Amino acid sequence: MKKILQYLFDYKILSREQAKDVLINISRGEYNDYEITAFAAAYLMRSITVDELQGFCDALLELCVKVNFSEYELIDIVGTGGDGKNTFNISTLACFIVAGTGLKVAKHGNYGASTISGASNVMEQLGYKFSSDESKLKTELDKANICFLHAPLFHPALKTVAPMRKQFGLRTFFNMLGPLINPANPAFQLLGVYSLEMARLYNYVLQKTNRTYSIAFSLDGYDEISLTSDAKILSRKGELIATPEELGRIQVLPKDIFGGNTLKDAANMFKAIIKGNGSVAQNAVVLANAAVALHCTGKYKTYNETFDAAEESLQSGKAYQCLQELISLQ
């Protein structure tokens, strides 16, 4: 690792194969915590390259616990995290909205590293039991239209670095990997990122896959469609900028999407929103993210149709039924 660190500190970049080897060695416990922290810090001082990102992903996908969901056409909604905004669990709520429309959702997530409540935190608070058992996850997809893949169970390298990430309290390149290493290999995906540079990096990587995707970046730095500002959305079709009114029919304030101060706050907020008791602003943000995800599947003719479908899922209670069914299976 010392040679690798010196290489990086000399402003050199890793090849795809070198990046892969480093992550494999991290997962095997060959480096100590100080070395891993220094390695992560190097990428706070400069941008990650496409080859490095692909190499890191290659390693994690090669080492991950395998699941075969080929009989399903799956979708995932995920943010990189690390935007420092401490919003409520928008992406996870949007996943249940999408499940309520009848699509099958394989949500990939982890504990929050730089926020109060990550996807895994809130799912655990709601009573979900993490598992890598394929038959259990398929039962959840069949009966609830959604399953949750807790990243550390599938990616040993992520479990190895979890304490470092939590103590670090800053976004690291590990935040970038999560959206690209869902072991369920979803056909469709909405990714939220916190910078335009990262959005274009993901766009380059995902263009080399068979996945249909949209990448969303709020221009004021949120790693999701926040409706606090215009958002840039990238896909295979190109790039566009959309206003809050176009995406969610209203504009909201940052205070409207604050995620609370404790895990209990986050879970209570989640339950209120999914039961249909969220504020106008909270509902609009969740529906906008769900609508953009639905729109990327190509199953609706217009964006308004996808927004209406998302709204019907929430207001009819179908999204909440998916949550109830999922928790009943634990």
Residues 311 and 190 in one domain: yes
Residues 172 and 205 in one domain: yes
Closest CA to 74 of 104, 101, 96: 104
Residues 49 and 130 in one domain: no
* CA geometry: angle 66, 181, 322, nearest 5 deg: 80
Residues 84 and 14 in one domain: no
Closest CA to 321 of 148, 101, 144: 144
- Residue for token digits 């068979």? 210
Residues 282 and 155 in one domain: yes
Domain that holds residue 110: 74-328
pLDDT digits over 269-325, tens only?
999 999 999 999 999 999 999 999 999 999 999 999 999 999 999 999 999 999 999
The predicted model gives 2-29 an average pLDDT of: 93
159 Cβ contact partners less than 8 Å away, ≥ 6 residues apart: 152, 153
pLDDT digits over 220-251, tens only?
999 999 999 999 999 999 999 999 999 999 99
Is there a domain that residue 281 lies in? yes
Is there a domain that residue 68 lies in? no
Is there a domain that residue 206 lies in? yes
The predicted model gives 120-145 an average pLDDT of: 97
Is there a domain that residue 263 lies in? yes
Q: Write down how long the chain is.
A: 330
Instruction: Please determine, for residue 159, whether its predicted confidence score (pLDDT) is greater than 80.
Output: no
- pLDDT value, residue 113: 64
Residues 49 and 122 in one domain: no
How many domains, in total, are found in the chain?
2
**Of 17, 42, 63, which residue sits at a domain end?**
63
pLDDT digits over 161-218, tens only?
877 777 777 677 887 888 899 999 999 999 999 888 889 999 999 998 999 999 999 9
Residues 59 and 81 in one domain: no
